[in-house]
């Protein structure tokens, strides 16, 4: 968790805004989450897409938690 806390904020935010949201209209991650909630996420490529676009957001959440833990 310490390694994630050391990542620069700008790098994590840029990753979320580019890979996390691309393509931008509508954000691909949103489409994949809708497919997941509707039970339509069945092809392996769709699962790969969901994981790929989710990783920056997951890292952002981990960085926030690591930063908060580090302050306490």
pLDDT at residue 51 in the model: 94
One-character DSSP codes across 18-30: HTTT-SBTTBHHH
Average pLDDT over the chain, rounded to an integer: 91
Whole domain around residue 58: which residue ranges? 19-71
- Cα–Cα distance measured from residue 11 to residue 5, given in angstroms and rounded to the nearest whole number: 12
> Please, what's the b/e burial string for 28-47 (b: 16 or more CB within 10 A of its CB; e: otherwise)?
bbeebeebeeeeeeeeeeee
Does the residue 51 lie in any domain? Answer: yes
Q: What's the total number of domains in the chain?
A: 1
Q: Confidence class of residue 23 from pLDDT cuts 50, 70 and 90?
A: confident
Does the residue 62 lie in any domain? Answer: yes
Reported as a single tens digit per residue, the pLDDT across 30-54 is 989 999 999 999 999 999 999 999 9
Q: Does residue 11 carry a pLDDT above 90?
A: yes
- Cα–Cα distance measured from residue 33 to residue 17, given in angstroms and rounded to the nearest whole number: 17
Q: Does residue 1 carry a pLDDT above 80?
A: no
pLDDT at residue 43 in the model: 93
Does the residue 5 lie in any domain? Answer: no
């Amino acid at each position: 968790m310490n390694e994630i806390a050391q990542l620069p904020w700008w790098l994590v935010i840029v990753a979320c805004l580019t890979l996390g949201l691309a393509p931008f209209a509508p954000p691909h991650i949103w489409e994949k989450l809708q497919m997941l909630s509707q039970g339509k996420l069945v092809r392996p490529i769709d699962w790969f897409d969901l994981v790929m676009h989710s990783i920056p957001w997951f890292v952002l959440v981990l960085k926030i938690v690591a930063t908060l833990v580090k302050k306490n």
